[in-house]
Chains A and B, each alone.
Chain A
Amino acid sequence: MKRTRIFRTGWLVLALVAALAPVYWMLTISLKTEVDQFAIPPKWFSFTPTLQHYTDAFVTRSFGQYLLTSAIVAVVSTFFALLIGTLAAYALTRFRLPWNLDHKLSLWILSTRMFPAIVTAVPLFLMMRDLRLLNTKLALIIVYTAFNLPFVVWMMRGFFAEVPRDLEEAALVDGDSRLGALVRVVLPLVSPGLAATAVFCLIVSWNEFLFALVLTQTDAAMTLPVGIAGRVTQYEIKWGVMSAAGVVAMMPILVFALAMQRYLVRGLSLGAVKG
């Protein structure tokens, strides 16, 4: 019994170290002087920290601007995806449409999420070029709204289905309209689910890379991931600056993810696993 416990603890510690050490290594590189960065043997703990790379990235270079763009695009697209998606999800859970249409529409909406990104990236680039929207935040906001929409519909469908119908029927009997019942009775009950869905959309938009790479190439429009990628593929790489940008890009995501751990599995499996 004792041996199996030691065995198990050993494996778990190994998994923990494997998961966290690489991220910690990036954190140290972002805080090390160039001399310490290239030190052999590697310095994991004993080095003099400096914030020089952070000021270099976010004050001297344009990473501050990329950060702002990422934030604006993520927040605005999340708002629209939630608004449009929640209404659709409500209709698809609460109304029986003829020819089983509610079910078929839900599946169709889900299937649009299954397209590999590169399949839509090529025509979306051409469409945005024709509309003269390349290198604008608007293009990314539009694309991310559509990208997150199927996800919102499926997550919210699950949350609406968990609310008993009797509650809104009582509101309807009391003379409330359908939308009144949705806003005053149902939405407050699903608000934890709504918040989890919102955080999920924020994470997905914040992390998204391929569409942003294709649609934005100017400093004024690119998001943080595209900005980082542009620096990594250059010949002379500023490792400290890269790592500082990487650390800043991951911080809000980690805070969000920890805050909504409970819904994480459900979100990542599009509502298929209730976790």
Chain B
Amino acid sequence: MPRSRRFSSALNRRELLLPYLLVAPALVVLLALSIYPLLYSITISLQQETPAGVVWTLGHFKRLASDNFFRTAMVHTFVFAAAALTCEFLLGLGLALLLNQQIRGRGLFRASLLVPMMLPTVVVGVVWRLMLNPNFGAINGTLKQVGINTESLTWTASPRLAFLAVIAVDVWQWTPFVFLVLLAGLQAIPQEPYEAALIDGSSRWQTFRHVTLPLLKPAILIVLLLRTMDLLRVFDQIFILTEGGPGFATEMISLYIYRAAFRFFDFGYAAAMSFVLLAVTNVVSVVYIRLLQAKA
């Protein structure tokens, strides 16, 4: 009897330990490759090499506060994110509303729209360098064909056009994603509220404003959250398309940090700047999550 009880308590203990054993490998990997690097980064952001050796200092953060390039890159990132997010949202919502009905060829349409968003970002950069090349690109070539003077349309060589171009490329790649999420959200809305609105004699705009939008709000907030996080850290396509140029015109915060670390080997300063980026993304995500929970 005692023996079997001991046996069953050993079994119980194993059962109790099991979840921890199953989670442990994942935790070890994430501690070693997410949390440890973060602590490492904090350390180097607070250290500076001096002739007298390594000293602890707030020097990097002080330098950051008076670095005009850093501020400009920050402003670029926000303007870029706001502009791209607005366009992606409006276009994506429009397409989702258009397609939220049974029409022929919907599957084909959906599948084709997947193409831009699944492309490797580097390939997106290549595609658009080919499209926007002032001499043989398809855009200027086509414009010339219909008789438009393209001499001033140098795209990535002109500061203002280059900024518009990087926004347009992001809109091209990610509108389909916004569309797909909002379409999924629309299709999850039940029919009853619409029937009620019909009986009440609401106009189409009223129905959209008071039925569709509130019920779509969770999907909207999630897709805006995911897009904002990605937009604030944008790097790949811009690195290929303009490398932040011409001059400093399309320099984004991630590119500036990359340059500080891997061109000038100023790792401490790069780490300090990356914490500002991390803080900003955190604040933004907290705001979204609050909004999401407020309504739920």
Residue ranges of A at the interface with B (Cβ–Cβ < 8 Å): 8, 11-12, 15-16, 18-23, 25-26, 29, 37-42, 44, 84-85, 87-88, 90-92, 94-95, 97, 102, 105, 109, 112, 114-127, 142-143, 145-146, 149-150, 153, 178, 203, 206-207, 209-210, 213-214, 224-225, 228-229, 232-233, 239, 242-243, 246, 249-250, 253-254, 257-258, 261, 264-265, 268-270, 272-275
Contacts and interface: CB of A to CB of B under 8 A. Distances in A.
A178 B116 contact: no
A84 B136 contact: no
Most buried by B among A203, A213, A265: A265
Contacts of A92: 19, 23
Contacts of B239: 209, 213, 229
A115 B279 CA distance: 10
B240 A210 contact: no
Contact of A207 (B120, B270, B278, B281): B120
A123 B282 CA distance: 19
A99 to B, nearest CB: 13
B38 A120 contact: yes
A132 to B, nearest CB: 17
Contact of B115 (A20, A97, A178): A20
Contact of A116 (B126, B233, B240): B233
Contacts of A42: 136, 138, 141-142, 145
Nearest to B108: A16
Nearest to A225: B122
B70 interface: no
Contacts of B229: 114, 116
B26 A16 contact: no
B223 to A, nearest CB: 7
A246 B44 contact: no
B160 interface: no
Contacts of B232: 116
B212 to A, nearest CB: 17
Contacts, number: 266
B288 to A, nearest CB: 11
Contact of A203 (B118, B176, B274): B118
A122 B123 contact: no
Given A114-B285, A127-B36, A268-B226, 9 more contacts: A12-B99, A19-B176, A91-B18, A122-B267, A150-B30, A153-B26, A207-B122, A228-B122, A228-B123
Contacts of A273: 181, 184-185, 219, 222-223
A105 B28 CA distance: 13
Contacts of B30: 109, 112, 146, 149-150
A23 B115 contact: yes
Most buried by B among A18, A19, A40, A264: A19
A20 B235 contact: no
A210 B284 CA distance: 23
Most buried by B among A38, A121, A123, A253: A123
A254 B115 contact: yes
A213 B136 CA distance: 29
A126 B27 CA distance: 22
A174 to B, nearest CB: 16
B118 A269 contact: no
Contacts of B261: 121-122, 125
Nearest to A118: B254
Contacts of A213: 239
Given A87-B25, A122-B267, A269-B226, A261 B110 contact: yes
Contact of A275 (B116, B130, B184, B271): B184
Contact of B177 (A224, A228, A268): A268
